[in-house]
Amino acid sequence: MGFRFHKMLLQVTWVGVLLSVTTSASAVLSYPSALPNCQNSCGGVEIPYPFGINQGCYLDESFSITCDNLTSQPMYGDVIVKNISIEDHNIEISAYTARDCPHGHQPNAPMNNSDSPNGPTLWSLYFTISDTQNVFMAVGCDTYAYLNGFKNSESFSLGCMSVCVSASNAVNGSCSGIGCCQTEIPKGMKNISLKAHSFNNYFEVQSFKPCSYAFIVQKDKFNFSVDSLRNLPKKMPMVLDWAVGNDTWAVGNETCAVNTKNYSCGGNSTCKGSENGGYFCLCINGYRGNPYLKDGCQDIDECKEGNNNCTGKNTDCVNEPGRYYCVCSMGYHFDDRGACVHPSSNLAIKFTIGIGICIIAMLVCSSWLYLIINQRKLTKLKQRFFQQNGGLILQQQLSGQDNSSNMVKIFTTKELEKATNNYHENLIIGQGGFGTVYKGFLEDDKIVAIKKSKRVDESQIEQFINEVVVLSQINHTNVVKLLGCCLETQVPLLVYEFVPNGTLFEYIHHASKVSFVPWETRLRIAIESAEALSYLHSAASPSIIHRDVKSSNILLDDKHTAKVSDFGASKLVPLDQTQAIATMVQGTFGYLDPEYLLTSQLTEKSDVHSFGVVLVELLTGKKAISFDRPEEERNLALYFLSSLEENRLFEVLEKNIANEENAEQLKEVSTLATRCLRLKGEDRPNMKEVAMELQGLRKMEKHS
Ligand SMILES: *[C@@H]1O[C@H](CO)[C@@H](O)[C@H](O)[C@H]1NC(C)=O
Ligand SMILES: *[C@@H]1O[C@H](CO)[C@@H](O)[C@H](O)[C@H]1NC(C)=O
Ligand SMILES: *[C@@H]1O[C@H](CO)[C@@H](O)[C@H](O)[C@H]1NC(C)=O
Ligand SMILES: *[C@@H]1O[C@H](CO)[C@@H](O)[C@H](O)[C@H]1NC(C)=O
Ligand SMILES: *[C@@H]1O[C@H](CO)[C@@H](O)[C@H](O)[C@H]1NC(C)=O
Ligand SMILES: *[C@@H]1O[C@H](CO)[C@@H](O)[C@H](O)[C@H]1NC(C)=O
Ligand SMILES: *[C@@H]1O[C@H](CO)[C@@H](O)[C@H](O)[C@H]1NC(C)=O
Ligand SMILES: *[C@@H]1O[C@H](CO)[C@@H](O)[C@H](O)[C@H]1NC(C)=O
Ligand SMILES: *[C@@H]1O[C@H](CO)[C@@H](O)[C@H](O)[C@H]1NC(C)=O
Ligand SMILES: *[C@@H]1O[C@H](CO)[C@@H](O)[C@H](O)[C@H]1NC(C)=O
Ligand SMILES: *[C@@H]1O[C@H](CO)[C@@H](O)[C@H](O)[C@H]1NC(C)=O
C-alpha cells in the first residue's frame, strides 16, 4: 500500500516534470518532434508530428500545415497557426471575426471574398472548437449574431444579442448584453461559420455608427471596452482540439486499445480516448517526448535532472528506463529509516548505546535494590531492638495504665537524633557507669535530658523496663519526671525532664570550693529528698524501694529543688507484701545498707540507711567514701557515728556551717542521721518519720 502510494506520487511528479520539460523543449528542441528529414518548425512555431508541412511528414491530410512563403507563417487551411500542443492536443489559431457595418462605413481596410467582412467559415472538418477554452462573443449596439456549425454531423446554431442606445451605455469589462454579449460553446462543434446582423439597419445608432461583430475567442484573450464598438481586431485567437484515429473511435468513447489498425502511438506510450471522437497518445511514466513518433517517448534521466529524492548523505541515484532508484554509496547501506550509514559506525553506535543502556539499567536496579534491602534491614533491626529492649513488655505495661496525663511517650530514633544533633558531644551533660546523658531539644522547644544507657544485656532489660514503668507511675515534684523512651536502638534511650543544675553531689563537693552552701539550703534539700522517698515508700502504688539513694542521684533544678533520679535499680513492692524481698545485692558502696548486704533481704529501711548517709554528707560536706582520707575516716557513715560517740560532732561538721542559731538543729539532724544509720533496719525510722522530723526541725528554727 505504502509502496503504491509512493509510486503514485512519483507518477504525479513525472507528469509535472513532463509538462514543464516539454514546454522548455519547444524552445530547446532537445527531443525530436517531427519525422526524420521533415521540417519541424515554421515562423518560430514548432510543428510536431502528427502535424507536418510536406507530404509524408504528417499523419494524414487533416494534420497538413502549410508554411506561407511570403509571411513565413504556418497556415492550417486559411487560418494562421500560432501554437501546436502535443500534451494538450490542441492548436491555437488566429481566426477572422465576422463583421457587419452601417452602409458606407468601413472601419478597417477593405476586404475581399476570402476574408469577407461577414460570415467567415472555419472548415475544420476534423478538429472541434474547444468548448473549455473558447467563448462566443458579439459586439455592437443594434446587433444579433449567430454561430452555425455541425455537432455529431448535425447542423447546429446558437447566438446572442447586444443593444445599446449610446456608446456610454456600455461598460468596460462587462459583456452582458449592453454593447457586448457572450455565450458558452457546446462540445464537439465543427465546420463553423459566424454571422453578425443589425436588427434595424443601425437606425437607432446612426449618430455613432457602430459595427456589429461576431467571433469565437480564447477565454481571457479579449476584454470588451467601449472602443471595441468602433474598432475591433480583424482576427481573434481561438483554440481547436484535435485527436487522431477519427474514424476508428466512436464519439464519446474514452478508452482505446493498442491493437486497432493504423494505431498512431509510438513506443513507451499509451493512448486515451477523446470525448469528441478519436484518441490521443501519452508517454508512459518516466518517459517524455512525442508519443506519436515511433521512438518519440524517451526515458527521463531523473538522476541527471535532479528531480529525484536521493538526497540523503552518501546516497547515489541510479537511472533505469522509465524509473530510477536510490542506492547507498560504496561501503554504506540503508538503515531502518532509509538513511545511508556506514555499517561499522552503525554497529559501534548501537553497541555503545546498548552498553550504555545496560550500565544505566544495572546502576538503577542495584541502587534501588540496595536502598530497599537497607530499608528492610533497618526496619528489621529497629523491630528487633524494640523487642530486645522489652518494647512489648513495656507496651503491655503501659496499656495497663489509664492515666493518660502520665503516659510515657515512645519516641522514634529520628526524633531523638534530631533533638541531640545526632548525639553531638557538646550536648553531653553527664557521663558515668550507667551511660551518657545528653541535653536535647524537642520539636516543641522542650528541653530534655536523654539518657543513653551503656550496652544493656538481657538480664538488665528487665531493670530498664522497671525504671520506665516505675517512673511512669510517679508524679511528684521531687522526683525527676520521665517523659518517654525510645526502644528502636540497640541501647534503649530514656527521655527525662531536663534538670539544669546538676547533682547534689556536685553541689556539695565541687561547688563548695567556690561558693558555700548554707545550712538552710542543705536542710531544704534533705527535706525534699526525704519527702520524695517517703512518697515512693508509702504513697506510690505499688510502693517503690529506690535501692540506690545517694547524693549523685539527687538532681537540682534552677531553684535548687531536689529531684530524686535514677530508678534503674528500684524495686516495686506490691502493697500487701510487708516482709522483705530476697534480691541480689545492689547499690553503691558507701551508701549500702550493711544489713541488706549481709542478708540480701531488701526492705524500705535500706533506702533509709542510704538517706542517712546523704544526711551526713550534707552535714559534713564530705564524700560518702573517700580513699584520700585516713583509713578510719574512709567510710563516712562509720566515721560520723564514731565521732558522735566521742562527742566530736562540731569537729566533723562542715566548716562555717554551724552558728549559734542552728546548733540545736544540727544536733537534732545529726541524731536523726545516726538513727537512720542503725545496723538493724527495724531500729531505723521509716522515711515518713524522717521527712516529718526534718520538717518539724525547720519549722522550729523558723519559729525561733
Ligand atoms: C524515493 O521515492 C521512492 C518512490 O517514491 C521511494 O520508494 C524511496 O523510498 C524514496 N527514497 C527516499 C530516499 O526518499
Ligand atoms: C514557396 O517556396 C517553395 C520553395 O521555397 C516553392 O516550391 C513553392 O512553390 C512556393 N509557394 C508559393 C505559393 O509561392
Ligand atoms: C504554446 O502552448 C503552450 C501551452 O500549450 C505554451 O506554454 C506556449 O507558450 C505556447 N507557445 C506560444 C509561442 O504561444
Ligand atoms: C483578395 O485576396 C486575394 C488572395 O486571397 C488577393 O490576391 C487579392 O488582392 C485580394 N483583393 C483585394 C481587393 O485586396
Ligand atoms: C474604457 O476603456 C477605454 C480604453 O480601453 C478608455 O479609453 C475608456 O476611458 C474606458 N472607459 C471607462 C468608463 O473606464
Ligand atoms: C461545412 O459547412 C458548409 C456551410 O456551412 C456546408 O455547406 C458544408 O456541407 C459543411 N461540410 C460538412 C462536411 O459538413
Ligand atoms: C482581460 O482582463 C483580465 C482581468 O481583468 C486580465 O487578466 C486579462 O489579461 C485581460 N486580457 C486582455 C487581452 O487584456
Ligand atoms: C477521418 O479522417 C480522414 C482523413 O484522414 C477523412 O477522410 C475522414 O472523412 C475522417 N472521418 C471522420 C468521421 O471525420
Ligand atoms: C468504445 O470502444 C471499444 C472498442 O472499440 C468498444 O468495445 C466500446 O463498446 C466502446 N464504448 C462506447 C461507449 O462507445
Ligand atoms: C490505414 O493506413 C494505411 C496506410 O498507412 C491506409 O492505406 C489506410 O487507408 C488507413 N486506413 C484508414 C481507415 O485510415
Ligand atoms: C522504450 O524505451 C526503451 C529505452 O528507454 C527502449 O529500449 C525500448 O525499446 C522502448 N520500447 C519500445 C516499445 O519502443
CB 120 within 8 A of CB 95: yes
Task: Check residue 446 and give its pLDDT.
Answer: 86
Per the structure block, which three cell numbers stand in for 11? 507518477
Distance in angstroms (rounded) separating the CA atoms of residues 608 and 615: 10
Return the ligand number nearest the Cα of 308: 1
Specify if 221 maps to a domain: yes
β-partners of residue 155 are 150
Residues 105 and 211 in one domain: yes
Range of the domain at 33: 17-87
* Residue with the larger pLDDT of the pair 160 and 502: 160
The dihedral through the CA atoms of 657, 660, 665, 667 has a sign that is positive
Return the ligand number nearest the Cα of 313: 1
* 336 belongs to the catalytic site: no
Helix runs in 302-423, H state only: 302-305, 343-388, 391-400, 413-419
- pLDDT tens by residue, 93-105: 998 888 888 765 5
CB 636 within 8 A of CB 613: yes
C-alpha distances in Å from residue 93, one per residue of 548, 680, 695: 135, 152, 144
* Ligand 9 atom with the shortest distance to the CA of 248: 5
Please provide the DSSP assignment of 151-165 as one string: ETTEEEEEEEEEE-S
CB 558 within 8 A of CB 502: no
Run of H or E residues at 435: strand 435-441
Residues 519 and 637 in one domain: yes
What phi and psi values does residue 383 have, to the nearest 5 degrees? -65, -40
Task: Check residue 432 and give its pLDDT.
Answer: 65
Q: Among 247, 255, 271, name the best residue to mutate to test ligand 9's pocket (greatest count of ligand atoms within 8 A of Cβ).
A: 255
Distance in angstroms (rounded) separating the CA atoms of residues 672 and 680: 15
Considering 195, 211, 241, which residue would you say is the last residue of a domain?
Answer: 241
The dihedral through the CA atoms of 231, 235, 241, 247 has a sign that is positive
Distance in angstroms (rounded) separating the CA atoms of residues 564 and 47: 130
Q: CA dihedral in degrees (498, 502, 505, 509; nearest 10)?
A: -170
CB 668 within 8 A of CB 685: no
Ligand 8 geometric centre to CA of 257 (Å): 19
Catalytic residue among 241, 548, 593, 607: 548
Count of beta carbons in the 10 Å neighbourhood of residue 139: 29
Q: Is 255 in the pocket of ligand 9 (CB under 6 A)?
A: yes
526: left (phi over 0), alpha (psi -120 to 50) or beta: alpha
Per the structure block, which three cell numbers stand in for 628? 584520700
Beta strands in 269-312 (DSSP E): 269-273, 279-283, 287-289, 297-299
Q: State the first-to-last Cα distance of the chain, in angstroms, to the nearest integer.
A: 122
Distance in angstroms (rounded) separating the CA atoms of residues 219 and 59: 30
pLDDT surpasses 80 at 295: yes
- pLDDT tens by residue, 184-228: 999 889 889 899 988 888 777 777 778 889 999 999 999 999 888
Specify if 339 maps to a domain: no
pLDDT surpasses 60 at 108: no
Run of H or E residues at 638: helix 636-645
Low-confidence winner among 9-13, 452-456, 651-655, 696-700 (lowest mean pLDDT):
9-13
Of the ranges 101-110, 255-264, 678-687, which is most confident? 678-687
Length of the chain: 704
Per the structure block, which three cell numbers stand in for 104? 458606407
pLDDT surpasses 90 at 338: no
Q: Among 148, 191, 247, name the best residue to mutate to test ligand 6's pocket (greatest count of ligand atoms within 8 A of Cβ).
A: 191
Residues 198 and 285 in one domain: no
Q: Count of H helices and E strands in the chain?
A: 14, 36
- SS3 of residue 47 by DSSP: coil
Per the structure block, which three cell numbers stand in for 654? 562542715
Residues 488 and 517 in one domain: no
Residues 527 and 617 in one domain: yes
pLDDT surpasses 60 at 440: yes
pLDDT surpasses 70 at 651: yes
User: Residue of the nearest CA to atom 9 in ligand 3?
Assistant: 23
pLDDT surpasses 60 at 8: no
- pLDDT tens by residue, 61-89: 889 999 988 888 999 888 899 999 999 99
Residues 189 and 104 in one domain: yes
Low-confidence winner among 4-18, 144-158, 318-332 (lowest mean pLDDT):
4-18
Residues 267 and 221 in one domain: no
Give the CATH number of the domain where residue 275 resides: 2.10.25
Task: Check residue 183 and give its pLDDT.
Answer: 94
Mean pLDDT confidence for 502-510: 84
User: Residue of the nearest CA to atom 14 in ligand 3?
Assistant: 83
Task: Check residue 411 and give its pLDDT.
Answer: 86
Specify if 309 maps to a domain: no
Distance in angstroms (rounded) separating the CA atoms of residues 545 and 482: 17
- Model confidence at 524, in pLDDT bands (50, 70, 90)? very high
Q: Which residues contact 75 (CB under 8 A, 6 or more apart)?
A: 65, 66, 67, 68, 81
Hey, what amino acid is at 167?
Answer: A
- Model confidence at 112, in pLDDT bands (50, 70, 90)? very low
Give the CATH number of the domain where residue 466 resides: 3.30.200.20
CB 67 within 8 A of CB 73: yes
In the annotated binding site, the residues are 452
Pairing mode of beta strands 482-486, 409-410: parallel
- pLDDT tens by residue, 233-270: 888 999 999 988 765 555 555 556 655 667 888 888 88
Q: Which long-range contacts (CB under 8 A, 24 or more apart) does 100-106 make?
A: 100/195, 100/196, 100/197, 100/198, 100/211, 100/212, 100/213, 101/209, 101/211, 101/212, 102/198, 102/201, 102/202, 102/205, 102/206, 102/209, 102/211, 105/209, 105/211
Residues 566 and 623 in one domain: yes
Q: CA dihedral in degrees (31, 33, 37, 38; nearest 10)?
A: -150
Specify if 597 maps to a domain: yes
Mean pLDDT confidence for 535-555: 84
Specify if 334 maps to a domain: no
Give the CATH number of the domain where residue 538 resides: 1.10.510.10
Please provide the DSSP assignment of 179-242 as one string: SEEEE---TTEEEEEEEEEESSTT-TTTTT---EEEEEEETTS----GGGGT---SEEEEEEE-
**Residue whose C-alpha is closest to residue 32's, from 319, 299, 244, 297:** 297
Considering 49, 68, 87, which residue would you say is the last residue of a domain?
Answer: 87
Q: Is 124 in the pocket of ligand 6 (CB under 6 A)?
A: no
Residues 540 and 461 in one domain: no
175: left (phi over 0), alpha (psi -120 to 50) or beta: beta
Of the ranges 114-128, 387-401, 424-438, which is most confident? 424-438
Q: Return the ∠ at Cα 587 (arms to 583 and 592), rounded to 5°.
A: 100
User: Residue of the nearest CA to atom 1 in ligand 11?
Assistant: 268
Specify if 336 maps to a domain: no
Distance in angstroms (rounded) separating the CA atoms of residues 439 and 405: 23
User: Residue of the nearest CA to atom 6 in ligand 10?
Assistant: 262
Residues 682 and 696 in one domain: yes
User: Residue of the nearest CA to atom 7 in ligand 4?
Assistant: 112
Count of beta carbons in the 10 Å neighbourhood of residue 346: 14
CB 398 within 8 A of CB 408: yes
Specify if 72 maps to a domain: yes
User: Number of structural domains, the chain?
Assistant: 5
* Residue with the larger pLDDT of the pair 459 and 217: 217
pLDDT surpasses 80 at 542: no
Task: Check residue 25 and give its pLDDT.
Answer: 36
Residues 550 and 445 in one domain: no
Specify if 484 maps to a domain: yes
Q: Is 114 in the pocket of ligand 4 (CB under 6 A)?
A: yes
Mean pLDDT confidence for 602-628: 89
What phi and psi values does residue 195 have, to the nearest 5 degrees? -150, 140
pLDDT surpasses 80 at 504: yes
**Residue whose C-alpha is closest to residue 442's, from 466, 474, 465, 418:** 418
User: Residue of the nearest CA to atom 14 in ligand 1?
Assistant: 309
Mean pLDDT confidence for 169-176: 88
Q: Is 267 in the pocket of ligand 11 (CB under 6 A)?
A: yes
Of the ranges 248-262, 320-334, 561-575, 607-621, which is most confident? 607-621
pLDDT surpasses 60 at 20: no
Residues 49 and 194 in one domain: no
Distance in angstroms (rounded) separating the CA atoms of residues 47 and 33: 8
Low-confidence winner among 189-203, 318-332, 509-523, 619-633 (lowest mean pLDDT):
509-523
**Residue whose C-alpha is closest to residue 394's, from 465, 483, 305, 460:** 465
Place of cell 477565454: 219
- SS3 of residue 495 by DSSP: strand
- Model confidence at 13, in pLDDT bands (50, 70, 90)? very low
Residues with CB under 6 A from ligand 10: 247, 262
Return the ligand number nearest the Cα of 19: 3
Q: What is the mean pLDDT of the chain?
A: 81
Q: Among 70, 112, 113, 114, name the best residue to mutate to test ligand 4's pocket (greatest count of ligand atoms within 8 A of Cβ).
A: 112
Q: Is 250 in the pocket of ligand 9 (CB under 6 A)?
A: yes
Considering 48, 64, 87, which residue would you say is the last residue of a domain?
Answer: 87
Per the structure block, which three cell numbers stand in for 54? 510536406
CB 691 within 8 A of CB 530: yes
Per the structure block, which three cell numbers stand in for 12? 504525479
pTM: 0.52
Task: Check residue 248 and give its pLDDT.
Answer: 56
As to burial, measured by CB atoms within 10 angstroms (0-12 exposed, 13-18 middle, 19+ buried), residue 703 is exposed
Place of cell 502511438: 265
Q: Is 268 in the pocket of ligand 11 (CB under 6 A)?
A: yes
